Amino acid sequence: MKLKLLSILLLSTLLSACGGDDNNGTSAPASSNGPTTGTGGGTSTPDTSTPGSSAAGGDSGDCYNNVALYTTGNTYQIDLQGLDGSGAVVLTTSNRYTVNGNASFKGNTATELQVDTTVTSGIGAGSTTQVKNYTRLDTNEAVTFGQISLVGAQGVAVSTTSAFDPALRKPYVLPLNTSRSYTYSISFEGVVATSPSSTQTLKETFLGTETISVPAGRFKACKLSSETTMDGTTTKAIQWTVAEGPYRGLFLQSADGNGTVTARATLLRFNGS
């Protein structure tokens, strides 16, 4: 389960780390002015009351608009350490991304982004996960329709299809310290049974940029907080992604709502370097 969560964590980080107006992400502008209004799932509601850090940067425009992450044929790699509450490393994973190009998901044309994850040490060593995410890049937002997960362990592979209803729409640009909320339902279809859909609300806040060090190196990073509410329970988290350079938009580190680091990058590669 932790392996699957790490794969989904990495994909969710990338959903905003792109920009453009072409469905396959091959001929889009490198940045976007961003929407003044928008929708994410059923609703997308600005909330200026949520405080954030005092880090520099007026909005997230330079952080989450790297169209190369969805350009057909590109590949990249993020290796991770998973940590427990004491800070001890409990597993390591190698996560390899491939942009497969245009595909159809439940009647929607999107770009298929595939991530192949292998647990290289610790809990679940040797197990694998493949996740195919289906996202369309519009002018001001990334529209995600769902994903297909294939989890393998001890010679057994289980496939699950997750679909957003309505599609999850995330703008490339969030103003500093301004929250945006998205409400949507997720339905699950598996080889064993189809589960009832569940409604979630995701609230994200761009907290600015700061320089952090992880085993992969020292980077200027974008800091984004999130709150996911489902069945009356809210889970808080913080994610950092690379803010500039050839790895812009790639995952660096995550923490829980208390600020305890839960995962960090040990290796970053884009198109082999």
Q: What is the pLDDT of residues 30-39, one digit of tens each?
A: 222 232 222 2
CB neighbour list of residue 139: distance below 8 Å, 6 or more residues apart:
20, 21, 32
State the CB neighbour count (10 A cutoff) for residue 247: 22
DSSP element (H, E) containing 12: helix 2-14
pLDDT value of residue 59: 85
Flag whether pLDDT at 230 surpasses 80.
Answer: yes
pLDDT value of residue 153: 63
pLDDT value of residue 39: 29
Residue 225: closest CA among 47, 38, 93, 4: 47
pLDDT value of residue 262: 98
CB 206 within 8 A of CB 179: no
Task: Please state the pTM of the whole predicted model.
Answer: 0.80
Mean pLDDT across the chain = 82
Confidence of residue 61 (pLDDT cuts 50, 70, 90): confident
Q: What share of the chain is helix, strand, coil (3-state, %, to 5)?
A: 5, 60, 35
DSSP 8-state secondary structure symbol assigned to residue 69: G
- Higher pLDDT pick, 58 / 248: 248
Residue 14: closest CA among 69, 80, 71: 69
- Three-class SS state of 70: helix
For residue 176, the number of C-alpha atoms closer than 13 Å in the C-beta half-sphere is 12
Residue 166, preceding bond cis, omega within 30 degrees? yes
d(CA 71, CA 198): 32
**Alpha carbon 35 to chain centroid distance?**
20
pLDDT one-digit tens code per residue, 141-164: 999 999 999 987 666 778 999 999
Residue 31: closest CA among 68, 56, 57: 68
Flag whether pLDDT at 42 surpasses 50.
Answer: no
Domain edges within the chain: 2-270
